[in-house]
């Protein structure tokens, strides 16, 4: 040791860095920066790591410091003098390669990373000189250490190779994979092999390498199967078969076609082993890489990876290969969907139907559904699929019945039956809402009858099968005979009245699906009578279960549908219902899914005339208390109580026929206004959104009442509106652009005498807000306000905005028209598009009538693909916006031809369409127009401005589309 003082200084810093005291750690970090300036620093760290005298913790910390030192060189944060001295670098690399012999994986990984950074900075030649002979040797330890380093070094995913190695490495690594050597070593070769092949510049050499590797994959996967096979190596191979997809389908084909037969045989062998596990005859096997004390995971990991690979192949060029032995594939999938270990205890957890928690089971079921979808596109595809399903069902049930009557047989039978039911239901779950399945393809009724008989006789005590059968009965509700439905409903009632929670979820899910079938008019008449005859018992069960379950989402949804269908029965239990809803709000306020279902229920209650009195006498006052901060004990301190109350009150207001109770109007409106205008509360955007939506709803539904209602201080409720609007535009009250546009447009429309005197002030606020916030969400809302006010008073507004300066040196009118681009229409909601359509039609009409001549004087800059930057006068620009709007509206659900603008129609996130309440509200508004009808009628009249737009800015394909909608298209443009 040439420099003992420096060595001691470094070890001292390492010890300090390991201390828990943050101050000591900080001092160590400062000290290490000084030590790093000494040339011997990296060599000293290597010496510490190699020392037999230092503690393991210090050696590990030294390896981390060493890695960080070379990482800084790699990233350019440190000078790289050491890399510029070949002798020093050669000595250092030799020492590092020797350190790979250490058995501590964490230290070994740091050493491999350090060597990798040296390689990336140009040191490959030196390291190559040392490791290539080691790979060619017969020393298993040397080979393992080098391959360990290569896996780390060659894990780079860059498009450009950070370094190039000789093609000889492919031969060396492939020979190691072929050897009967250490399992872990063989697994480690796969990433370096992937690297060498991916960065091979010669296509012919690459394809040859892939073919040879595919054959070796086949050999490895085809090795004699046994309970202690090398599952880990096989899993790694499956991973890399998938990973080679990055090279493209042609190259990937060389790997897959060679490997697939072995994968199929391996999956079948795993299936047979898995059957022993689900029979409880054996446990999960350990492979040769797992120790006796290790948890058995490699076997199940291998099956999961095979299933994932097959799942990726369903929508690929290899799909036809999967169909060659479809029966065997489906049989494997149903076996892999079976419960194992202790899954039965958790299979009906309350989240099981919403988010599948078992990866193997979920992926297998999704493959079933994807295969069914692919085959459904073919003429005889469904027949092929369901014929195979029927064969598999028949064979698997026959196999179960032939087993001796033992405990293992009972467990196996239950698990297989549950899997068959689960898979069948998963494939057809969509048909709960729509009648899309066909019993001529598959005998659903037969299996439902057969399984129900089994449950009533030999399996009447098996909760796993009972729960899944009830769930399946709900999925195929329309196929149940009246007798079968009666049996299922009575079992559901029995389960929901029982104390055992195991069957709560499948029972409520089944009942919900029966309700959906009834509501969608898919249930036979005789079955409807059965459901009606049990309505009281079912309602009692639902009300009880909502309070019992931790997550009563499905139960609440079933209750909401029940209310739609059985009004009289609900009226009898209305007080129980009210109590249940209040407790649900208390207990689940933070669960958005539960609150959404409460909203659904309140809307259905409000729509029933017989139930409205209790609603407005009991539930509305309770919600108003929440809105005004009068919270019951369970909700004290909850800031979102007011927001949820506003959402519920909005739903009630939407669905209640006029007149709405004054309690809801006065207390609800004043509470919403108070929250939006109070600086203590109005920083919460979600609460502001809910309040604005509620106020908008009341304005649309109850305009006549709003004009005379006053708050407790005798202030007219309508006087709040201008204050709220100015606060929202000025960003004092944070709110989305869409909600701002709705509130302002509806207020102008319903309370013109209140808003019109404020038009000029509103326009000034809009102009100021646009200058400080050009984010598209806000801009679209502000621009809708501008265009709507321009529609209401086109001449006065145009003159006013022309008289005040804009921020770009021109008039405010010029600025507002130029700030808007045609492609912005693509992100507008249905409400905004409707307002824009109505406003454009009326503003253009005013210009043509001579009432807004200022719009003829405005020049708008416009960029198109063909013309580049050009100028267009204001009225022509408005025509162009209107044409653009109607073409987009017409093309939302159709294939759209190329446009001359940089605009592609995408799936619009239509916030109005998401909520049917908005659709109901629109029916109360003059904004309830059909954009295409209104525009096509307006464009039946030709003029110079419209002709110029057609001639200069539209493609022939767009003109043809306009013509097909009934619009006049100038002949000059069609020639």
Between CA 535 and CA 544, with CA 540 as vertex, the angle to 5 degrees is: 145
**Residues 6+ positions from 494 with CB-CB distance below 8 Å:** none
Please state the φ and ψ torsions of residue 871, each to the nearest 5 degrees. Answer: -115, 145
Q: How far apart are CA 249 and CA 189, in angstroms?
A: 23
H-helix segments, 75-163? 86-99, 105-118, 124-136, 140-153
Q: How far apart are CA 224 and CA 237, in angstroms?
A: 16
Q: How far apart are CA 142 and CA 10, in angstroms?
A: 30
Q: Which residues of 481-493 are buried (b: 16+ CB within 10 A; e: fewer)?
A: eeebbbbbbebbb
Selection from 563, 582, 912, 952 nearest residue 736 by Cα: 912
Confidence tier at 230 by pLDDT (50, 70, 90): confident
Strand partners, 716: 710
Residue that has been written with the tokens 């990336």 in this structure: 120
What number is the average pLDDT over the span 482-510?
88
556 vs 432, 597, 787, 925, 975, CA distance in Å?
Answer: 17, 6, 43, 32, 62
Give the per-residue pLDDT at 972.
Answer: 43
Tokens standing for 771? 């200058």
The helix (run of H) or strand (run of E) holding residue 864 is: strand 859-864
Selection from 140, 129, 196 nearest residue 163 by Cα: 196
DSSP-assigned letters across all residues of 547-578: HH-SS-HHHHHHHHHHHHH-HHHHHHTHHHHH
Residue 431 has pLDDT above 90, yes or no: no
Q: How far apart are CA 603 and CA 652, in angstroms?
A: 6
- pLDDT tens figures, 14-66: 888 888 888 888 888 888 888 888 888 899 999 999 998 889 999 999 999 99
Q: What is Dmax (Cα atoms) for the chain?
A: 99
Confidence tier at 459 by pLDDT (50, 70, 90): confident
Q: Are 924 and 699 in contact (CB under 8 A)?
A: no
Give the per-residue pLDDT at 438.
Answer: 64
Tokens standing for 558? 């079933």
Please state the φ and ψ torsions of residue 410, each to the nearest 5 degrees. Answer: -65, -45
Peptide bond into 868 cis (omega under 30): no
Q: Are 477 and 432 in contact (CB under 8 A)?
A: yes
Helix, coil or strand: residue 710: strand
Q: How far apart are CA 116 and CA 123, in angstroms?
A: 9
Choice among 147-156, 697-706, 794-803, 882-891 with the minimum mean pLDDT: 697-706
Helix, coil or strand: residue 137: coil
Give the per-residue pLDDT at 731.
Answer: 79
- pLDDT tens figures, 862-910: 766 555 677 888 899 999 999 989 988 887 645 433 443 333 322 223 3
DSSP-assigned letters across all residues of 774-801: --HHHHHHHHHHHHHHHHHSHHHHHHHH
pLDDT, greater one: 226 or 865: 226
Q: How far apart are CA 571 and CA 227, in angstroms?
A: 63
DSSP-assigned letters across all residues of 801-823: HHHSB-TTSSBHHHHHHHH--GG
Pairing of β 859-864 and β 868-873: antiparallel
Residue 940 has pLDDT above 80, yes or no: yes
Selection from 463, 473, 543 nearest residue 503 by Cα: 463
Selection from 213, 209, 302 nearest residue 259 by Cα: 213
**Residues 6+ positions from 537 with CB-CB distance below 8 Å:** 493
Choice among 539-543, 586-590, 868-872 with the minimum mean pLDDT: 868-872
Q: Is the dihedral of CA 285, 288, 292, 298 positive or negative?
A: negative
- pLDDT tens figures, 776-801: 888 888 999 999 999 999 999 999 99
Q: How far apart are CA 508 and CA 798, in angstroms?
A: 61
Percent of all residues in the chain with a pLDDT value above 90, rounded to a whole number: 41
Selection from 158, 160, 132 nearest residue 146 by Cα: 132
Confidence tier at 437 by pLDDT (50, 70, 90): low
Tokens standing for 686? 């979600």
Phi-psi region of 205 (alpha: psi -120 to 50; beta: other; left: phi over 0): alpha
Give the per-residue pLDDT at 810.
Answer: 86
Selection from 459, 456, 544, 462 nearest residue 503 by Cα: 462
Give the per-residue pLDDT at 179.
Answer: 82
Choice among 539-548, 583-592, 675-684 with the minimum mean pLDDT: 675-684
What number is the average pLDDT over the span 514-521?
88
Confidence tier at 773 by pLDDT (50, 70, 90): confident
Percent of all residues in the chain with a pLDDT value above 70, rounded to a whole number: 92
Choice among 709-713, 738-742, 876-880 with the minimum mean pLDDT: 709-713
Residue 795 burial class via C-beta count within 10 angstroms: exposed 0-12, middle 13-18, buried 19 and up: middle
Give the per-residue pLDDT at 159.
Answer: 60
Give the per-residue pLDDT at 433.
Answer: 46
Confidence tier at 439 by pLDDT (50, 70, 90): low
Q: How far apart are CA 287 and CA 298, in angstroms?
A: 7
Q: How far apart are CA 933 and CA 916, in angstroms?
A: 22
Residue 358 has pLDDT above 60, yes or no: yes
Neighbours of 733 (CB within 10 A): 25
Give the per-residue pLDDT at 894.
Answer: 59
Q: What is the torsion angle, in degrees rounded to the nearest 10, for the CA atoms of residue 745, residue 751, residue 752 and residue 754? A: -110
Residue 349 has pLDDT above 80, yes or no: no
Q: How far apart are CA 403 and CA 916, in angstroms?
A: 54
Helix, coil or strand: residue 763: helix
| Count of residues making up the chain | 975
pLDDT, greater one: 890 or 190: 190
Please state the φ and ψ torsions of residue 864, each to the nearest 5 degrees. Answer: -125, 160
What number is the average pLDDT over the span 398-410?
78
Between CA 104 and CA 113, with CA 109 as vertex, the angle to 5 degrees is: 155
Q: How far apart are CA 485 and CA 480, in angstroms?
A: 6
pLDDT, greater one: 407 or 300: 300
Residue 293 burial class via C-beta count within 10 angstroms: exposed 0-12, middle 13-18, buried 19 and up: exposed
Q: Are 108 and 49 in contact (CB under 8 A)?
A: no
Tokens standing for 241? 């078969």
Q: How far apart are CA 191 and CA 174, in angstroms?
A: 12
Choice among 69-83, 358-372, 835-849 with the minimum mean pLDDT: 69-83
Give the per-residue pLDDT at 595.
Answer: 93
Tokens standing for 455? 């449950």
Tokens standing for 353? 């139907």
Residue 442 has pLDDT above 50, yes or no: yes
* Average per-residue pLDDT for the chain: 85
Confidence tier at 189 by pLDDT (50, 70, 90): very high
Helix, coil or strand: residue 873: strand
**Residues 6+ positions from 246 with CB-CB distance below 8 Å:** 198
Give the per-residue pLDDT at 796.
Answer: 92
Neighbours of 79 (CB within 10 A): 11
């Amino acid at each position: 040791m040439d420099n003992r003082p420096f060595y001691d200084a470094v070890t001292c810093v390492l010890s300090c860095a390991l201390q828990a005291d943050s101050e000591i750690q900080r001092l160590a970090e400062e000290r290490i920066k000084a030590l790093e300036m000494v040339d011997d620093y990296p060599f000293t760290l290597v010496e510490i790591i190699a020392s037999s005298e230092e503690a393991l913790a210090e050696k590990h910390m030294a390896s981390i410091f060493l890695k960080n030192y070379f990482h800084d060189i790699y990233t350019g944060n440190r000078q790289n003098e050491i890399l510029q001295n070949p002798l020093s670098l050669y000595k250092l690399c030799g020492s590092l390669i020797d350190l790979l012999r250490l058995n501590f994986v964490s230290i070994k990984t740091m050493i491999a990373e350090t060597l990798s950074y040296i390689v990336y900075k140009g040191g490959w030649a030196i390291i190559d000189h040392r490791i290539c002979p080691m790979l060619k040797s017969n020393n298993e330890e040397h080979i393992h250490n080098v391959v360990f380093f290569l896996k780390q070094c060659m894990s780079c995913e860059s498009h450009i190779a950070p370094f190039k190695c000789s093609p000889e490495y492919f031969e060396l690594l492939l020979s190691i994979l072929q050897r009967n050597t250490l399992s872990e070593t063989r697994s480690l070769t796969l990433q370096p092999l992937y690297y060498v092949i991916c960065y091979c510049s010669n296509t012919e050499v690459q394809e040859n390498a892939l073919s040879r590797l595919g054959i070796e994959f086949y050999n490895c996967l085809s090795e004699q199967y046994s309970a202690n096979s090398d599952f880990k190596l096989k899993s790694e191979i499956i991973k890399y078969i998938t990973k080679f997809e990055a090279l493209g389908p042609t190259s990937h084909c060389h790997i897959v076609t060679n490997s697939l037969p072995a994968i199929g045989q391996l999956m079948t062998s795993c299936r047979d082993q898995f059957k022993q596990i689900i029979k409880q005859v054996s446990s999960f096997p350990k492979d040769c890489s797992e120790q006796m004390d290790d948890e058995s995971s490699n076997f199940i990991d291998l099956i999961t990876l095979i299933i994932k690979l097959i799942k990726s192949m369903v929508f690929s060029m290899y799909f036809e290969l999967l169909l060659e032995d479809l029966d065997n594939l489906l049989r494997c999938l149903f076996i892999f969907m079976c419960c194992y270990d202790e899954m039965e205890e958790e299979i009906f957890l309350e989240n099981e139907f919403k988010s599948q928690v078992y990866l193997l089971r979920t992926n297998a079921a999704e493959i079933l559904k994807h295969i069914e979808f692919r085959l459904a596109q073919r003429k005889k595809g469904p027949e092929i699929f369901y014929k195979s399903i029927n064969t598999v069902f028949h064979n698997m049930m026959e196999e179960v019945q032939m087993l001796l009557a033992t405990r293992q047989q009972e467990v196996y039978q239950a698990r297989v039956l549950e899997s068959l039911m689960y898979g069948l239901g998963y494939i057809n779950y969509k048909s709960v809402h729509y009648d899309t399945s066909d019993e001529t393809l598959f005998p659903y009724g037969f299996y439902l009858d057969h399984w129900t008989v089994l449950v009533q006789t030999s399996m009447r005590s098996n909760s796993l099968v009972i729960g899944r059968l009830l769930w399946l009965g709900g999925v195929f509700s329309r196929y149940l005979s009246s007798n079968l439905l009666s049996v299922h409903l009575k079992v559901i009632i029995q389960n929901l009245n029982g104390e055992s929670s195991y069957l709560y979820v499948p029972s409520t899910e089944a009942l919900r699906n029966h309700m959906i079938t009834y509501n969608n008019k898919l249930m036979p008449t005789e079955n409807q009578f059965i459901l009606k005859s049990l309505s009281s018992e079912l309602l009692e069960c639902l009300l009880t279960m909502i309070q019992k379950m931790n997550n009563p989402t499905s139960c609440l949804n079933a209750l909401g549908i029940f209310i739609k269908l059985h009004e009289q029965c609900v009226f009898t239990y209305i007080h129980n219902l009210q109590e249940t809803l209040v407790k649900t709000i208390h207990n689940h306020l933070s669960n958005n899914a539960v609150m959404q279902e409460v909203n659904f229920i309140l809307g259905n209650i409000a729509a029933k005339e017989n139930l409205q009195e209790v609603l407005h006498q009991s539930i509305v006052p309770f919600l108003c208390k929440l809105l005004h901060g009068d919270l019951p004990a369970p909700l004290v301190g909850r800031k979102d109580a007011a927001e949820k109350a506003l959402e519920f009150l909005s739903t009630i207001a939407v669905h209640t026929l006029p007149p709405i109770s004054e309690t809801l109007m006065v207390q609800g409106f004043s509470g919403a206004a108070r929250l939006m205008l109070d600086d203590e509360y109005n920083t919460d955007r979600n609460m502001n959104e809910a309040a604005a939506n509620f106020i908008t709803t009341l304005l649309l539904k109850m305009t006549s009442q709003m004009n005379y209602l006053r708050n407790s201080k005798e202030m007219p409720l309508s006087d709040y509106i201008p204050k709220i609007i100015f606060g929202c535009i000025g960003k004092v009250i944070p709110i989305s652009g869409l909600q701002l546009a709705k509130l302002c447009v509806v207020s102008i429309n319903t309370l013109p005498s209140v808003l019109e005197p404020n038009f000029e002030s509103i326009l000034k606020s809009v102009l100021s807000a646009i200058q400080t916030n050009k984010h598209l969400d806000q801009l679209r809302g502000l621009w809708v306000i501008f265009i709507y006010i321009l529609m209401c008073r086109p001449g006065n507004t145009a003159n006013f905005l022309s008289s005040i300066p804009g921020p770009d040196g021109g008039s405010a009118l010029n600025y507002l028209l130029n700030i808007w681009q045609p492609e912005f229409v693509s992100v507008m909601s249905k409400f905004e598009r409707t307002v824009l359509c109505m406003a454009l039609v009326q503003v253009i009409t005013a210009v043509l009538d001579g009432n807004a001549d200022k719009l003829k004087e405005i020049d708008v800059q416009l960029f198109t693909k063909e013309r580049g930057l050009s100028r267009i006068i204001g009225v022509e620009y408005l025509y162009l916006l209107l044409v653009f709007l109607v073409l987009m509206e017409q093309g939302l659900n159709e294939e759209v031809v190329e446009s001359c603008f940089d605009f592609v129609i995408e799936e619009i996130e239509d916030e109005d369409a998401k909520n049917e309440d908005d659709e109901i509200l629109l029916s109360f508004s003059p904004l309830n127009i059909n954009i295409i009808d209104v525009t096509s009628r307006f464009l039946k009249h030709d003029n110079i401005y419209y002709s110029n737009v057609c001639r200069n800015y539209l493609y022939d394909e767009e003109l043809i589309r306009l013509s097909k909608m009934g619009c006049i298209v100038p002949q000059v443009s069609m020639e």
